[in-house]
Amino acid sequence: MLQNSRTDNWINRDNGPPEFRPGPVVSLADVLAVLAFIRRHVPIISLTCFAALGVATLYLITVVPTFTAKALLIVNAKATFADAASVSTAVESQIGIIKSESIASAVIEKLGLAQDLEFTTGQGSGMISRLLGWSKPATEASAARYALEPFERKLSAKRVGPTYLVEITFGSRDPDRAAQIANAVAEKYITHQMDKGSLQDDQWVKDRLNELSTQALAAQKALEDYSKNRKEPADSAATIDKLAAAAESSENAYDNFRYVLRKTVATQQQSSPVFEASLVSAASPPLRPSSPKARIVLGIAIVGGLLVGIAIAFLRDLLDRGIRTSGQESRLSAPDDRIDRPLPDAVRPDHQSQASAKATPVRLTGSG
């Protein structure tokens, strides 16, 4: 009975819930085997590590570093949004405008980036350029188009958390150039929003307002001057009525134009909310390159070298084990795994027959 209860206890423990089952135990023999494996293959692992470090060092020496400048601006909506999703959609739309082709083209034209070697990697002439599909731009417009692709690849804009802040970053080989371009992008975006935000910023609107205001002031001044300097009372009443009507007409035209202008601006703001953008902090030249990062590159090289070295050592052990196994199997000739070893010459059958022939006794007979 005692033996059966013990057996039942073992069975219940094996069939229990997974959280109560004992996990795999690493024995001391396994640890010693791993240490012995590493000790045997230290030269191979060390060689792969040094090779990987050499490749990483060569990469850090030859690669051109990239400097990333950051500018921070805020976009304030004049309209009130109902929920956070609407705010996120509105801010993302402004980020799309910042990264648009119109802003990029304006910055390229302003800073003359079409002639910068950093943005003309796709331009060239000759047989190699023709084979690769490159062609030398014939006009300034085509040169700007070539510079547009690398410009958009280096430009980035993202929202800073659940706020109206937008971070503009630009990466370049020259830290001063990176800061200059990031600030130019922010400036062009702010100018674009100001030009689009209100019709009062258009030059035609300003000129028209000035013209109507001048006409109204001139008509009013003419009425006042005539009223002070009139000489003939008979004609003064009719003239004053005409001047008063002209002054009133000019003033009404000015007021009506301003009223229509305000209504148009209000309609635009209701249909598509206008954003007021302002620069929070301008980009300054970065002091350190953003890429490549030496610590990360060297760390990846060390880990990769260790893994490659361990893999090579493991494959080498497998090959050695396979060669030894095939050598042993070639020596096995009997089903009971008896090893067929060469027999000495003294015990070979042919040598035994020869030896027996040589050892045949000779009878000696004698007379009497």
Q: What is the pLDDT of residues 21-43, one digit of tens each?
A: 555 666 788 778 778 888 888 88
Q: Looking at per-residue confidence, does 293 or 367 come out higher?
A: 293
- Rounded to the nearest angstrom, the gap between the alpha carbon of residue 155 and the centroid of all alpha carbons in its chain is 11
Residue 256: predicted pLDDT = 82
Average pLDDT over residues 281-303: 89
| Range with the poorest average pLDDT among 38-42, 50-54, 127-131 | 127-131
Average pLDDT over residues 321-338: 61
Structure token pair of residue 294: 């030496």
Structure tokens at 306: 């260790």
pLDDT single digits (tens) 216-243: 888 888 878 777 776 666 567 777 778 8
Tell me the average pLDDT across 75-103.
Answer: 78
Mean pLDDT of 335-360: 49
The C-alpha atoms of residue 103 and residue 97 are separated, in whole angstroms, by 7
Residue 280, classed as helix, strand or coil, is strand
Q: Give Cα separations from 72 to 41, 252, 283 (angstroms).
A: 54, 46, 8
**Residue 330: per-residue pLDDT:** 59
Residue 136: exposure state from Cβ atoms within 10 A (0-12, 13-18, ≥19): middle
SS3 content of the chain, % helix, strand, coil (to 5): 65, 10, 25
Q: Helix 101-111 crosses helix 140-154 at what angle (to 10 degrees)?
A: 120
Q: Provide CB contacts within 8 A for 83, sequence distance 6+.
A: none
What is residue 279's predicted lDDT score, i.e. its pLDDT?
86
CA distance 192 to 121: 29
Q: Convert 238-269 into a string of H (helix), E (strand) and C (coil).
A: HHHHHHHHHHHHHHHHHHHHHHHHHHHHHHHH
Q: Which two tokens stand for residue 265?
A: 């601006």
From residue 42, how far is each of 47, 194, 304, 310 by CA, in Å? 8, 68, 15, 9
pLDDT at position 136 is 52
The predicted structure's pLDDT at residue 23: 55
Query: Residue 157 — very low, low, confident or very high, per pLDDT cuts 50/70/90?
Result: very high
Higher pLDDT, 360 or 265: 265
- The CATH code for residues 66-198+274-291 is 3.30.1890
What's the CA gap between 219 and 253, in Å, rounded? 12
Range in 48-52, 309-313, 332-336 with the lowest mean pLDDT: 332-336
Average pLDDT over residues 162-180: 91
Question: Of 158, 160, 165, which Cα lies nearest the Cα of 75?
Answer: 165
> What's the chain's average pLDDT?
75
Res 226: pLDDT: 77
Most trustworthy range by pLDDT among 31-40, 83-92, 168-177: 168-177
Question: What integer pLDDT is reported at residue 176 of this predicted model?
Answer: 93
Predicted confidence at residue 331, as pLDDT, reads 60
- pLDDT higher than threshold 60 for residue 19: no
Q: Where are the domains of the chain?
A: 28-63+304-315, 66-198+274-291, 199-271
